Amino acid sequence: DSGVTQTPKHLITATGQRVTLRCSPRSGDLSVYWYQQSLDQGLQFLIHYYNGEERAKGNILERFSAQQFPDLHSELNLSSLELGDSALYFCASSAGGLAGYNEQFFGPGTRLTVL
């Protein structure tokens, strides 16, 4: 158990809908990262928050947004969903703000299925 929790574990929705994925980092970790993993794209970094502030953006679509709250939990919002958004979404956390320097601890993921 990494100490990172993600809810829900599974999510099934329809095209055009909007969903919110939630992540609670390990106790004491200030950084939260979001990743998308699909069969055709592999593991894609989406966005990184550190202590409530956006630190870096990766391959995140404009239809997707995220935020990190004062209690350090984070939410990833996916809107106008398309079939291609079906994927496993991981959240990870680390103690520091430099992603390339700190070990990242991954949650179990949320499997999103868009029908």
Beta-bridge partners for 11 = 112
User: In whole angstroms, how close is the CB of 39 to other proteins at the nearest point?
Assistant: 11
- In whole angstroms, how far apart are CA 88 and each of 30, 31, 50, 102? 23, 20, 22, 23
The mark string for 48-77 relative to other proteins (x by CB under 8 A, - otherwise) is x-------x-x-------------------
* Angle ∠(29,23,57) on CA atoms, nearest 5: 80
- Nearest-approach distance from CB 66 to other proteins, in angstroms: 15
Residues that bind other proteins (CB under 8 A): 2, 4, 42-43, 45, 48, 56, 58, 90, 92, 98-101, 103-109
